[in-house]
Each structure stands twice: as structure tokens, then as C-alpha cells.
Structure 1
Amino acid sequence: MRILVVCAVAEEAQAVEAGRAVRHELDVLVCGVGPAAAAAATARAIADNSGMGRAYDVVVNAGICGAFEGRAAIGDVLIATDSVHAELGVALPWRFQPIDEIGFGTNRIGCNTVLTVAVEGVRGEILTLASITGSDGLAAQLAHRYPEAIGEAMEGFGVATAAQQAGLPFAEIRTVSNFIGDREVGNWDWDAALKSLTTAIREL
């Protein structure tokens, strides 16, 4: 099985490499931050490798994230049931209208949970945003809008879109470095999150 694991930054990629299992052929791609960079880099990697006769069987987005307080803890592994683009739609004065409701596609891509059945962690929706949630008020709004969401990151939906268009199964695995809304970096624990990411990749 050939697996493409897409990470936003080098530190995440190093944690994934540390958890590499010898039984699978695994490539790690550093795509850059945000859904657009993630989609473009993933699509190119899939196309380039298919052209060389080394097509991927599976695409995984892996990295650290923020969690909704009360739904997961620092250092937890989050396994996505769905990758949800939380900002794709219409911001009406009284509510957010997902793009699904206006007939221009969907802001949700289901994840292949068979790929992550051996991974231990918290399961639920993981939100993709182009901007990090920077206040407790905004975090509360997101938590209310998406009651099944357990965390937020910035690349999942982009990677999922590229995988879906290529007809490949997709999974998203994240590990918690901070709580959503908390911008005090001193309260974040990157080391715990990256260590958990290595463990999660070993279990994949």
C-alpha cells in the first residue's frame, strides 16, 4: 500500500517520519499552511506520482490542531469522521449558511474511517478554516454551529478535496496542542501534540 501523508509544516512531517511503519510505502509531503496550499500541493503530488507509475492508494492529512475545550484534551489524538470547511458558505447577519444550502457544492467530505480503525483517539468532525479562531467568543460560535466538531485546523478540507477528485480514500488525523480561542502560546504544548502524532502514525 502506498500512502501519501500531507503535513502543513516540517515539524509535523518529522513527527510522522518518526512513526513510519515499515510495512507500508509512505511518502510525507509538506504542503504549506492553509486549505488552498494543501489542495494544490496534494493534487500535484497525486498527479506526479500517477504519471510515474507510482500511484498512491491512500491520502492522509496529519498534523497538530486546536480542540474545543470539553470535547478533547491537550495531547489527545483526534480522528476525523468528516472534514468540514467551516467558512465555506454565506455569513448572514443572523446565521451561517453552508454552501450546501445554496446548491453550489458541499462544505463536508466524509473520511474513510476504515483506514483509521486501529488508531486510538477521539472521533468526530474536524473543521478546516483559513484563519485560526482567535477568541473565546468565536470559538463558542463555532462549537454551537458544529456540535459534532472536536477540533479545528487549516488544511484538512483542501487535502480531502484533492483526494476525492482523484478517487482516493482520505483520512485526517490530528493531535491537540491547544484549545480553540486560546491565543496565549505559553499555554500550548507542541511537544505533547507532536509526540502523540508519532504514536498515531505508528497505529495507522
Structure 2
Amino acid sequence: MIRVFITDDHEIYLEGLALLLGKQDGIEVIGTATSGKELLEKVQDLQTDVLLLDVYLPDLGEEEILQQIRAIRPDLRIVYLTLLRGTRYIHKLSKYNIQGYVLKNASLDELLLALKTVQDGGSFFSKDIHIGDRDEDFRNTITIEDKQIDEILSRRELEVLRLICKEYSNAEIADKLFLSVSTVETHRKNLIAKLGVNNTVGLVKFALRNNLID
């Protein structure tokens, strides 16, 4: 029996995944959390074999969460769930000894294989994630399916992203969207964090790769 704990801030997805996994032979979903803070409150006492963890949680950064988890549970097996197919998160988070990285649109069979592989002491990465030396072009970029853009970025974040790509300053974006400059700065930081890039150039690459701008 593989005991699984799931953390994801999208409650409908979380409840659906918990229900689906709970119906599978050899899988027991022992609990769920909808935020990084809730997970950290529970992690000390979790009697779980594998933690399924959403890459992006709005309340705590992914490295902050992993640092705290590893301080408490250094050997806890962690499989990340994501919509992102690029490798930046893999390389950034690998130093925290994560065991898996699975796309949210993976098949049930693939997810079950990931859980079994990790439970048995191995590592598992979805086949559609670009990884390895031959994929150098993908190493510092993130790509997602067009239909999933709105599941990662809000309408306002998309507006800000497109204006950033047109070389508008924070002040100009604020004026155009009737926002404060500090709000625009927050949106810019959130975009960089969500998309796993380092700077404005990374945002532009993401927008071009996903056909968000001409």
C-alpha cells in the first residue's frame, strides 16, 4: 500500500485527484492540503510514503517550502505536480532531493507508475518534460499548452506580461491599466516566480514560445 498526501491550491483539481487515486488498488490518500502553510503544519506528523506537491503555491515559494520540509523530513519522497514542461524548476529544485516531476495532464497510468517508482526508491520524470544535455534549448525556458495558460496566469497577469513584452515600464503599465506602480511590480514578481524565469528576458521568451505575442 502506497500512502499519498496531496497539496494543491486548486481545490477542484485536488479533490478530483484525491478521489481518483483513492479508488486505485494499492493507493491510500491519507490527506490533503491547499496551501504551503497548511502542509508545513502537518508535515511533521505525516505518515505518508509520497508527497504529491504542486510546484506553485501562492502563499509560499517553492524553495522556502522545500527548505522547511527537508529540515523536518529529510527523507520524505516528493513528487512535484505541474503544468510546466520546461526544465528550470527541475534544475532549481533538484538540490532539495525531489524524486519526481509529473505533468498534471499525465495519464493515470503514468501517475501510478511515478508513485510506484518513487516508493521503490527510484526517480520519475514525465516523458514530455524536456531534460538532458540534448535539450539545452529548453533548459531555461518554460512551455505549456495554450489551453492551460489561463490555469497558470490570471487575466491581469497576462495583460501585464504582454505590456512588459512591449517594453512598457512599470509606471507606464500602471497608468495604462489603472493600477498602482507597486501592484504592477508585484505582478511582475509573481510572473517571474510562476514561470520559473530569472528576468524580463525570460518573460519575453516565455511569451514568444507560447504565442502570447507576435
TM-score (norm 2): 0.34
Larger Rg: 2
TM-score (norm 1): 0.35
Bigger strand share: 1
Bigger helix share: 2
